[in-house]
């Protein structure tokens, strides 16, 4: 097992909550958008069951925002989005795939519409800001595009409603899934959305100003003491069960949104302004050769190590597993894989080539949750 510290270069950025994350005893981190992302505090199993029963604070500062403001903000978003945004209301979030001119996935962000001329693109792990800046230059658009000093703090788990009500008032319970609103904290407004990278329900607080990170964290921790609140992070088994995709892992530039299981977010008939629209239309009309699937993988706990792992069926190449881990709840190995068309039907039996020994697996019709 690789155990080392991280050289304190500013290329791997600290988050505003970092001192508290360290005090909470972080055990494992990932790097995401050039920023540290805590992902484990106890074992994955302990973190998993705690998340499903209580409430956790997640330092997801690495979900960086790209702010787009100006007269042509909507025009720029229409250029990026294969999902129609015409009727998107202020205060709504929208999950959407973003692609290049060939339909290759560049990122899978969440869009927040702040006003008619202001948006945040809450990005996954790729340097999508550079792509957006290049388009602004190439199309000579009248917009300002930059990364604001905003750091999302996730409040995830079944007790998140209770905790958030205590800190922001009970009106926060009226917030529907994928809606957001501004709430006051310590004399400053912060947007709060009902969203997050788990299937357990919860919120994301877009903490404005690095200096407000620790006060926000401490207030939530104090208010939730009797709710067993503690530090957590995107939980590997929980997100694989839930089918929450990870850009750079499950989906890459080599995949189009249809292969990525995000075809339902591409409306090829009503987004002709979207860059990559012709390519997406072609894929939609001609079909695709592989697609994201959930798999149930037999045998004891698979080792936690680098993916992808090859998948075969009767000796033939059937795809790759891109995320795989033991699920403490379902008591089986759960996986996400890119599976070739010939093998993607539910209940197809395949072999997953784990680094220790190959295991029988079944392609599922849907994710575990």
Contact footprint for ligand THG (CB under 6 A): 63, 95, 108-110, 122-124, 152, 178, 195-197, 204, 244-245
The least distance separating ligand THG from the CB of residue 344, rounded to whole angstroms, comes to 19
| Cβ count within 10 A of residue 133 | 14
The least distance separating ligand THG from the CB of residue 129, rounded to whole angstroms, comes to 13
The least distance separating ligand THG from the CB of residue 368, rounded to whole angstroms, comes to 13
Question: Closest residue (Cβ) to ligand THG?
Answer: 122
The least distance separating ligand THG from the CB of residue 90, rounded to whole angstroms, comes to 17
Give whichever of 242 and 319 is closer to ligand THG, judged by the CB atom: 242
The least distance separating ligand THG from the CB of residue 143, rounded to whole angstroms, comes to 21
Give whichever of 263 and 352 is closer to ligand THG, judged by the CB atom: 263
The least distance separating ligand THG from the CB of residue 251, rounded to whole angstroms, comes to 10
Give whichever of 336 and 354 is closer to ligand THG, judged by the CB atom: 336
The least distance separating ligand THG from the CB of residue 32, rounded to whole angstroms, comes to 8
Give whichever of 124 and 302 is closer to ligand THG, judged by the CB atom: 124
**Do the Cβ atoms of 257 and 205 come closer than 8 Å?**
no
Could you give phi then psi for residue 340, rounded to 5 degrees? -65, 150
Alpha-carbon gap, residue 172 to 161, rounded angstroms: 8
Rg, the chain, Cα only: 21
Question: Residue-wise over 139-165: b if at least 16 C-beta within 10 A, else e?
Answer: eebebebeeeebbbbbbbbebbbbbbe
Tokens matching residue 269: 């008939």
Give whichever of 197 and 258 is closer to ligand THG, judged by the CB atom: 197
Give whichever of 156 and 359 is closer to ligand THG, judged by the CB atom: 156
Give whichever of 122 and 200 is closer to ligand THG, judged by the CB atom: 122
């Amino acid at each position: 097992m690789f155990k080392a510290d991280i050289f304190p270069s500013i290329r791997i950025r600290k988050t505003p909550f970092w001192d508290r994350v360290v005090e909470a005893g972080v055990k494992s981190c990932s790097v995401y958008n050039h920023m540290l992302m805590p992902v484990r505090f106890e074992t994955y199993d302990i973190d998993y069951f705690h998340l499903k029963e209580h409430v956790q604070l997640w330092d997801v500062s690495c979900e960086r925002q790209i702010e787009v403001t100006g007269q042509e903000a909507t025009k720029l978003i229409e250029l990026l989005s294969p999902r129609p945004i015409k009727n998107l209301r202020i205060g709504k979030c929208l999950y959407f795939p973003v692609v290049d001119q060939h339909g290759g996935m560049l990122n899978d962000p969440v869009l927040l519409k702040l006003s008619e001329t202001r948006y945040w693109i809450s990005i996954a792990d790729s340097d999508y800001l550079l792509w957006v800046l290049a388009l602004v230059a190439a199309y000579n658009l009248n917009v300002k595009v930059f990364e604001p000093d905003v750091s999302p703090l996730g409040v995830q788990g079944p007790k998140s409603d209770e905790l958030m009500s205590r800190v922001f008032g009970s009106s926060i319970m009226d917030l529907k899934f994928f809606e957001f609103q501004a709430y006051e904290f310590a004399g400053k407004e912060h947007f709060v959305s009902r969203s997050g990278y788990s299937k357990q329900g919860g919120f994301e607080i877009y903490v404005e100003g690095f200096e407000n990170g620790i006060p926000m964290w401490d207030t939530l921790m104090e208010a939730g003491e009797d709710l067993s609140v503690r530090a957590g992070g995107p939980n590997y088994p929980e997100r694989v069960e839930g089918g929450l995709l990870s850009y750079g892992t499950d989906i890459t530039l080599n995949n189009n949104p249809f292969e990525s299981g995000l075809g339902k977010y591409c409306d090829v008939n009503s987004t002709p302004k979207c860059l990559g629209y012709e390519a997406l239309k072609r894929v939609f009309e001609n079909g695709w050769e592989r697609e994201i699937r959930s798999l149930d993988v037999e045998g004891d706990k698979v080792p936690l190590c680098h993916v992808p792992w090859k998948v075969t069926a009767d000796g033939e190449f059937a795809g790759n597993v891109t995320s795989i881990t033991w699920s403490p709840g379902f008591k089986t190995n759960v996986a996400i894989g890119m599976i070739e068309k010939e093998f993607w039907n539910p209940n197809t039996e395949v072999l997953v080539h784990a680094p220790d020994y190959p295991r029988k697996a079944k392609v599922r019709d849907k994710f575990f949750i």
